[in-house]
Amino acid sequence: MALSLRSCGAVLSVVCVSLQFAVNGLEAGSSPDCGCSSLNREPSEGKHPSCENPADKYSAVVNEKSSDHDTLSKMVLLQGGWFLMGTDEPGIPQDGEGPQRRVWLDPFHIEEHEVTNKQFQRFTNQTGYVTEAERFGDSFVFEGLLSEDIKSSLSHAVAAAPWWSPVKGADWRHPEGPDSDIADRMDHPVLHVSWADAQAYCQWAQRRLPTEAEWEFACRGGLQDRLYPWGNKLMPRGQHYANLWQGNFPNHNTAEDGYSKASPVMSFPANGFGLYDIVGNVWEWTADWWNVHHTRDHSRNPKGPETGTDKVKKGGSYMCHKSYCYRYRCAARSQNTPDSSASNLGFRCAADPKL
């Protein structure tokens, strides 16, 4: 099924062909999927003139507009070196989590938490930047978060993933549609940002998106061959270490971890590198194009394929539960088209050390 909300010469599409699960159980070899990777706007025959790559447009003002950095995130310097990327025991093999391979990284900085609404607001105030969701006029929202008014106004249902709805007027300032706002969520991660939006923010901040390898190195927090940033046990000593989903997805979130949707950044313990919410809370865009074919060959500072159709996102979100979206592991990965945006997708920036 495809939904078409045509705007700016592109089509917002919900195509759920990858949803191969049964509601009450997973078949062996099937793909547990929260539908997150289906939230793609299909490219159309041509871009509308007003839909030029926002990152290109705003890179021109990077140096003159980024003087006021008092709201930028603190960054952690990671020394890099050799590490083991991916896993030989993939939770979701078809995502290209394996094989495990040796990767060298040069030192890099990475922000200690996801970019917040307050930070993104400073960026838009200084630059006049308009996000892609605002240009398209809609974005994907998890239906469990919508008001009854918004639900009753929805004209489309997505048979294979009814928990996702394209909502008119949903954007970073209105995370659950026009009748919502972010006034009491300025310390929450910014939502409904496309890859280009994330790229534009990082360029303004004189930073950049992390590569997938950098993100995964950061996630692992100095540990080797572990599932999570803190080890192999999801809840050491019964404590929640990330904002995930508890209960039966998608109908009942017990919010045992304290949050049924995105949480203020830094609400959960940092990993060994001092990085917060590196898994859970919101998915995070990376710089790399998506590719599921990897080899055991060693590589240095890999940047992914030269081209592609989807960008890699990492870390899972507050919607992830083991039964549907076991992607809150460091080796896990998913993808969206770069112009996609959703209520569980954000980012953090990285940077090269100053010479």
User: What residues make contact with Ca ion under the rule CB under 5 A?
Assistant: 243, 257, 259, 277, 281, 315, 318
Task: Tell me how far, at minimum, the Cβ of 260 lies from Ca ion, in Å.
Answer: 6
The number of beta carbons lying within 10 Å of the beta carbon of residue 77 is 12
Residue 169 or 280 having the CB closest to Ca ion:
280
Q: How far, in Å, CA of 289 to CA of 337, rounded? A: 9
Task: Tell me how far, at minimum, the Cβ of 277 lies from Ca ion, in Å.
Answer: 4
Residue 162 or 258 having the CB closest to Ca ion:
258
Residue 101 or 261 having the CB closest to Ca ion:
261
Q: At what angle do helices 195-204 and 117-127 cross, to 10 degrees?
A: 70
Task: Tell me how far, at minimum, the Cβ of 245 lies from Ca ion, in Å.
Answer: 6
Residue 10 or 262 having the CB closest to Ca ion:
262
Task: Tell me how far, at minimum, the Cβ of 280 lies from Ca ion, in Å.
Answer: 6
- Interacting residues of 314 by C-beta distance below 8 A, sequence separation 6+: 212, 215, 216, 219, 283, 284, 286, 332, 333, 334
Place of tokens 């159709």: 309
Provide the Cα torsion 308, 19, 85, 306; round to 10°: 0
Residue 144 or 308 having the CB closest to Ca ion:
144
Q: Which of 57, 331, 332, 83 is nearest to 200 (CA)?
A: 57
Strand segments, DSSP code E, in the chain are 5-7, 10-14, 39-42, 75-78, 81-85, 101-105, 108-111, 138-142, 164-168, 247-248, 252-253, 283-289, 299-300, 311-314, 334-336, 345-346, 350-351
Task: Tell me how far, at minimum, the Cβ of 113 lies from Ca ion, in Å.
Answer: 9
Residue 165 or 286 having the CB closest to Ca ion:
286
Provide the Cα torsion 78, 81, 82, 86; round to 10°: 30
Task: Tell me how far, at minimum, the Cβ of 118 lies from Ca ion, in Å.
Answer: 17
Residue 257 or 339 having the CB closest to Ca ion:
257
Reduce the DSSP state of residue 136 to 3 states and report it: helix
Q: How far apart are the first and last CA of the chain?
A: 51
Residue 13 or 73 having the CB closest to Ca ion:
73
Chain centroid offset of residue 113 CA: 13
Reduce the DSSP state of residue 237 to 3 states and report it: helix
Task: Tell me how far, at minimum, the Cβ of 348 lies from Ca ion, in Å.
Answer: 8
Task: Tell me how far, at minimum, the Cβ of 33 lies from Ca ion, in Å.
Answer: 18
Residue 16 or 270 having the CB closest to Ca ion:
270
CA-derived radius of gyration, the chain = 19
Task: Tell me how far, at minimum, the Cβ of 347 lies from Ca ion, in Å.
Answer: 9
> Which residues, listed in sequence order, are joined to residue 280 by a DSSP beta bridge?
none
Q: How far, in Å, CA of 38 to CA of 17, rounded? A: 8
